């Protein structure tokens, strides 16, 4: 007899072995106690014993993973056994009498194959078929037939499993971020491991990696102990059982247990996501052909797009290029793609550590990742799963999968920080320093990895990280202040009287009477709340915080612009390239080139004319130079444009080529609009979904300018050319410009005037704004009669 009361206390292997022995005995008794059928006249003698009869375990018992209080999934397979119904009754009733839960069926091999080819769940279970007792040859035929059927039907069944998993993920959530996770059915749970094996059985994916198998085994151990302690067939790791389960499994406390469960769930979810991408790609019907070329599109230096993935270029040198990891991540996030698994492995193995402080190019790339918003989340998860994110930010290990017990929080600490950065990317148009907002959003809760008040202990940690990233001392102080006081506005708005002048003065004093810090704190509070939950950032709280900010802003008396680290450098003695046949020092077209940190500084001089800045910017874009900053000055009819540029594909600009391009464009022999349209067709443009923000400022300005138009928009190749051409196309001269690209946003201020000297009227403003909006979206450039094309 089986001692069912002792089963929960046994280990998995002992529990399965005990059940196998007992079930084998039941089958023998059932066969012995069932009279054999009479032989048919002239037919073969009836089969006896277990010939043509096999008891097969499927599901968790088939995988030898049966948990305490688990269901026994059994299939009685038969061939030419007319007395099968009587044998089945004699087999099943003792199982029920023992109080065990039983899911049973009686099938021939053909019937089992039919079920496996039409029902995804049944087919998934039959893939785990394992002989318990009886005819081994019959069980082997069942397994071979169902496996062949699964492979043949995979194109139909795997999408069913995918949809089923997505629906359960929608209902139950992701295991990695739940405080009381369903260890089996939540996304990233045990079911993922089973589906991974099913995809591998269909020969559409690799076998699960060793890391995935380890994560799966941990979840099995936790589930077994949970069921053993609770005495119930439940897979939900409820709060009241977590401490006891942690103690039994050797974890320090329930938080450590939950963190390990989260890490396991994230690994399985990550591998499952990648597997589904591979499966879906394999199931797409493609035209038949012996050769099929995959288009490779350059995205950045050493990085190309290949199909729907980002891979390394053939000439990439990851072992000697420390900025390649972040450059590849930025390219992937900006293109809304993922890095290929092989590329991730290569980067993880060969990439050297970043120098400290980071080179400007590395900081630039990291900001572009963060500024990509939602598309950055899966890319950062890729870096995290390969250990690259912790290599870039060693402090990240402290908060990785760290649970947050507050019911408002939807995510672990690390995912909350990434979600906050994604939310902050939608607010970069509202602040003057989007780069500092993005970094502060990513680091605002970094202190939760250390004991103590996370705002207080996080301040020096964030300052150290920002300094390592290469920010100036002033910027480091701002980031540290934002982290230290990121709860100031919500806490004050909801717990203090915002109509009390003392409250307003206290907030102003806390932030050092700095309007730019107030602006950043407001955006950070919004991003933090959005990344927490709807309960944490309700319309009511948003209204209170906005009202508090308005009062403090009035107290401070207007915004104070925090200048970013200068990108343009004072002009130095550099070689210039004059026009052929024009004496050096004459006032023709000249191009000067200076090597600076993170690229080059190009100085272009030419006789002033409408659209000069646009022409120079177009030539730079045509030569695949990304403009990071620009400044235009006009003295005595001669314009000097200074650009901070970085080659998109690592090729330094050639002054002679740039000078020839500017001259040709000014002479009308080079059609910049047409050439740039062709360039955009060859290289897909990066796009941002957030609409541009355009504002006018008519306070006193220097020179002959009659207004300032500010454009905040997502950066893209050729943007400066399009914007300046749009302004010129509406009949306005650009007499000066201040161009900055912070993160992935361009913040461009143009000093404009009418050639006639008349003010810019309301109608002209509307036309200019419409043209600028079209330019930010990549629309056709409207060129005025005096503007070179």
Beta-carbon contacts of 293 under 8 Å, excluding residues fewer than 6 positions away, are: none
DSSP 359: P
Residue 743: DSSP 8-state:
T
CA 528 vs CA 223, 514, 540: distances in Å: 34, 21, 16
Residue 193 dihedral angles phi and psi, to the nearest 5°: -60, -40
Quote the pLDDT of residue 725. 87
Residue listed under structure tokens 């950062």: 380
What is residue 642's three-state secondary structure?
Answer: strand
- Each residue's pLDDT tens digit, 638-664: 888 888 888 877 778 888 999 999 999
Q: CATH homologous superfamily for 173-282?
A: Nucleotidyltransferases  domain 2 (1.20.120.330)
Tokens of 239: 């709060």
Which pLDDT does position 670 carry in this prediction?
A: 87
Per-residue b or e along 158-181, where b marks 16 or more CB atoms closer than 10 Å to that residue's CB: bebbbeebeebbeebbbbbbbbeb
The token pair that represents 152 in the structure block: 């043949």
Q: What is the DSSP letter of 576?
A: B
Residue pair 705/730 in contact by the 8 Å Cβ criterion: no
End-to-end alpha carbon distance in the chain: 93
Strand partners, 300: 303
Q: In the CATH scheme, what architecture does the domain 4-37+45-154 have?
A: 2-Layer Sandwich (3.30)
Q: How far apart are CA 466 and CA 773, in angstroms?
A: 34
Distance CA 420, CA 443 (A): 9
Q: Which architecture characterizes domain 393-556 according to CATH?
A: Orthogonal Bundle (1.10)
* Nearest residue to 386 via CA among 266, 500, 231, 555: 266
Element holding 646 (H helix, E strand): strand 638-647
Token readout for 51 is: 């010939």
**What's the order of all strands across the beta sheet hosting 53-57?**
102-107, 72-78, 53-57, 130-134
Residue 593: Cβ within 10 Å count:
18
Q: Output the pLDDT for position 584.
A: 44
Residues in the chain where the model's pLDDT stays below 50: 287, 559-564, 571-575, 583-585, 699-702, 782-789
**259, 403 Cβ separation under 8 angstroms:** yes
pLDDT at residue 598 in the model: 67
Domain residue spans of the chain: 4-37+45-154, 173-282, 393-556, 590-776
**In contact, 50 and 134? CB cutoff 8 Å:** yes
């Amino acid at each position: 007899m089986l001692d069912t009361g002792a089963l929960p206390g046994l280990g998995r292997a002992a529990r399965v072995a005990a059940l196998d022995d007992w079930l084998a005995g039941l089958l023998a008794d059932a066969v012995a106690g069932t009279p054999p059928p009479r032989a048919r006249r002239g037919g073969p003698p009836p089969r006896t014993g277990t010939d043509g009869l096999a008891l097969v375990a499927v599901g968790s018992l088939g995988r030898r993973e049966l948990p305490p209080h688990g269901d026994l999934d059994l299939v009685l397979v038969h061939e030419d056994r007319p007395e099968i119904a009587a044998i089945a009754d004699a087999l099943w009733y003792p199982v029920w009498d023992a109080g065990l839960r039983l899911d049973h069926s009686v099938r021939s091999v053909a019937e089992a194959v039919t079920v496996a080819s039409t029902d995804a769940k049944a087919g998934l279970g039959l893939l785990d078929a394992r002989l318990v007792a009886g005819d081994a040859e019959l069980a082997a035929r069942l397994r071979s037939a169902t496996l062949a059927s699964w492979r043949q039907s995979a194109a139909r069944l795997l999408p069913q499993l995918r949809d089923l998993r997505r629906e359960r993920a929608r209902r139950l959530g992701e295991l990695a971020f739940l405080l009381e996770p369903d260890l089996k059915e939540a996304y990233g749970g045990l079911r993922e491991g089973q589906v991974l094996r099913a995809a591998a059985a269909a020969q559409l994916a690799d076998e699960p990696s060793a890391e995935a198998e380890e994560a799966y085994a941990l979840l099995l151990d936790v589930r077994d102990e949970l069921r053993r302690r609770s005495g119930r067939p439940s897979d939900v790791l409820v709060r009241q059982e977590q401490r006891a389960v942690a103690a039994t499994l050797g974890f320090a406390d329930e938080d450590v247990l939950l963190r390990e469960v989260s890490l396991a769930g994230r690994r399985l979810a990550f591998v499952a996501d990648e597997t589904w991408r591979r499966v879906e790609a394999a199931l797409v019907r493609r035209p038949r052909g012996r050769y099929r070329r995959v288009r490779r599109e350059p995205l950045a230096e050493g990085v190309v797009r290949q199909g729907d993935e980002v891979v390394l270029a053939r000439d990439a040198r990851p072992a000697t290029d420390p900025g390649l990891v972040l450059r590849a991540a930025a390219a992937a996030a900006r293109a809304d793609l993922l890095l290929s698994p092989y590329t991730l492995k290569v980067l993880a193995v060969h990439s050297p550590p970043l120098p400290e402080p980071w080179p400007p190019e590395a900081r630039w790339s990291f900001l572009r990742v963060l500024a990509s918003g939602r598309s950055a989340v899966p890319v950062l998860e890729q870096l995290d799963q390969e250990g690259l994110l912790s290599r870039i930010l060693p402090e990240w290990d402290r908060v990785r999968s760290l649970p947050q017990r507050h019911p408002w929080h939807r995510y672990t600490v690390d995912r909350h920080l990434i979600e906050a950065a994604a939310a902050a990317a939608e607010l970069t148009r509202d602040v003057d320093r989007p780069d500092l907002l993005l970094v502060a959003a990513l680091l605002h809760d970094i202190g939760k990895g250390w004991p103590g008040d996370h705002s207080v202990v996080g301040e020096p940690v964030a300052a150290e990280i920002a300094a390592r990233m290469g920010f100036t001392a002033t910027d480091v102080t701002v980031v540290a202040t934002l982290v230290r006081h990121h709860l100031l506005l919500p806490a004050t708005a909801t717990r203090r009287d915002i109509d009390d002048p003392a409250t307003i003065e206290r907030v102003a004093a806390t932030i050092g009477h700095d309007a730019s810090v107030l602006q950043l704190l407001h955006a950070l509070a919004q991003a933090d709340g959005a990344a927490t939950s709807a309960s944490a950032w309700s319309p009511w709280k948003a209204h209170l915080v906005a009202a508090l900010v308005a009062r403090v802003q009035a107290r401070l008396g207007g915004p104070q612009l925090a200048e970013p680290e200068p990108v343009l450098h004072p002009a130095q003695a550099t070689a210039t390239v004059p026009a052929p046949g024009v004496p050096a020092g004459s006032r023709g077209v000249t191009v000067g080139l200076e090597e600076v940190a993170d690229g080059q500084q190009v100085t272009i001089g030419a006789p002033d004319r409408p659209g000069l800045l646009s022409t120079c910017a177009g030539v730079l874009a045509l030569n695949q130079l990304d403009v990071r900053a620009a400044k235009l000055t006009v003295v005595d009819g001669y314009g000097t444009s200074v650009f901070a540029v970085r080659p998109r594909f690592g090729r330094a600009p050639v002054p002679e080529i740039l000078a020839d391009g500017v001259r040709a464009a000014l002479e009308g022999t080079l059609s910049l609009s047409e050439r740039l349209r062709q360039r955009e067709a060859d290289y897909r443009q990066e796009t941002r979904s957030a609409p541009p923000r355009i504002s006018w400022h008519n306070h006193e300005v220097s020179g002959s300018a009659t207004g300032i138009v500010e454009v905040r928009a997502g950066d893209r190749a050729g943007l400066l050319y399009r914007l300046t051409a749009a302004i010129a196309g509406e009949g306005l001269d650009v007499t000066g410009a201040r161009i900055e690209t912070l993160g992935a946003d361009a913040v461009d201020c143009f000093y404009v005037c009418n050639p006639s000297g008349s003010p810019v009227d309301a109608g002209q403003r509307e036309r200019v704004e419409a043209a600028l909006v079209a330019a930010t979206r990549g629309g056709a450039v409207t060129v005025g009669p005096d503007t070179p094309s």
